[in-house]
Structure 1
Amino acid sequence: MMQKFLPALTIAVITTWVNVAPAAGAQLARSVSTLNRAGAQFALQAAIRSATQLNAPCAIAIVDRSGGLMAFDRFDNVRAGSPDLALGKARTSALLERPSEETEDNTNKGRTAFVTAGFMALRGGMPLKVGDTVVGAIGVAGVKKENDVRVATDAALAFSKEAMEH
């Protein structure tokens, strides 16, 4: 009985696969911009300038679009947990392609799946964009969430402006 069932199942799977094949001539891949070392360093330096102007010591993490660490800095006298928070905010922002502030707001409204999925639901993460394309993100963690958002936003805006000029 099992031998008769197995071939029918195989045919069904093949038929389903064939039905979802792309149309002839369909594009199977897309070109994307990627964050390079120079871009990561530019965003990091913009964040350091902003944090210094605000007198807001913090940890700053820059990640690529997949959440891989590209650049990092930590001011003196920053809490021991800030580096991990900065990296988590940056990764969340890169992977979800939105400010981590939105993730925090959604979590506060009861959407706790973000937390159980391993995303950092805290303000201070911003995507780094070239035009409309997210190429990475920045995460900032210091003492005040308002400063975290400001530093991340300042750096993301400076990065986008510079990327569009070159």
Structure 2
Amino acid sequence: MIKFARNIALLAAVFSFSASAQTVQVRTLDQAGAESVLQAAKENARKRNAPSAIAVVDFAGDLLAFERMDGVRSASAELAIEKGRTAARLQRPTQEVEDSINHGRTAFVTAGIMSLRGGVPIFVNGKVVGAVGVAGRNKETDAGIAKEAADVVSSAAVANEP
């Protein structure tokens, strides 16, 4: 009987711990968030008169939303997707990869990743939830459009925090 009571007490102690201490909350970029990023990038590209291919991916680099605007080169479609994928998986802008290569870190060239500016991760509470990749006019314009689009979700998430 004492053994049984001890086991019950042990189980009660284990189950009395807070459930939140036993779980991890993971934020993800949903379809609505991806569409917001895509819309922000399209508006920014139009303002700059810079037709672009725009890809929004989740944290693993899988495509959530895409648009190839009129007047952009067909090769830009794949470039945009790969820029977004690289930014999400490396959790940093592709501009940093390009800069690393330009400063002698040539191993990145053989890594099978996109090393062109225009991919920017999307952060929520310091965690990467996705990324946006832009390919169109030139590297500075692509990077600018992507950064402003990524900031739309990051800023909104901060504003919506309790």
The normalised TM-score by structure 1 is 0.80
AA aligned to 1:141 is A
Question: Could you say what secondary structure the match of 2:55 adopts?
Answer: strand
AA aligned to 1:109 is H
Q: Residue 88 of structure 1: CA displacement?
A: 0.8
Q: Greater CA deviation, 91-100 or 112-121?
A: 112-121
* Corresponding residue number in structure 2 for 1:92: 86
Matched, 1:34 2:28: yes
Matched, 1:119 2:145: no
Residue among 93, 102, 105 paired with 2:99 = 105
Q: Residue 31 of structure 1: CA displacement?
A: 2.8
- Count matched residues: 140
Q: Residue 28 of structure 1: CA displacement?
A: 8.6
Residue among 121, 136, 146 paired with 1:142 = 136
* Corresponding residue number in structure 2 for 1:11: none
Q: Residue 110 of structure 1: CA displacement?
A: 2.2
Structure 1 residue runs of 4+, over 6 Å off? Answer: none
AA aligned to 1:147 is T
CA distance in structure 2 between the aligned counterparts of 1:64 and 1:35, rounded to whole angstroms: 6
AA aligned to 2:112 is G
Q: Greater CA deviation, 30-39 or 131-140?
A: 30-39
Unaligned runs of 5+ residues in structure 2 are 1-20
* Corresponding residue number in structure 2 for 1:81: 75
AA aligned to 1:152 is A
CA distance in structure 2 between the aligned counterparts of 1:69 and 1:37, rounded to whole angstroms: 10
AA aligned to 2:45 is A
Question: Could you say what secondary structure the match of 2:65 adopts?
Answer: strand
Matched, 1:154 2:154: no
Matched, 1:61 2:55: yes
AA aligned to 1:72 is F
Question: Could you say what secondary structure the match of 1:135 adopts?
Answer: strand
Question: Could you say what secondary structure the match of 1:159 adopts?
Answer: helix
AA aligned to 2:125 is G
Unaligned runs of 5+ residues in structure 1 are 1-26
Q: Residue 29 of structure 1: CA displacement?
A: 7.1
CA distance in structure 1 between the aligned counterparts of 2:73 and 2:43, rounded to whole angstroms: 20
AA aligned to 2:82 is G
Q: Residue 71 of structure 1: CA displacement?
A: 0.3
Residue among 65, 69, 77 paired with 1:71 = 65
Question: Could you say what secondary structure the match of 2:70 adopts?
Answer: coil
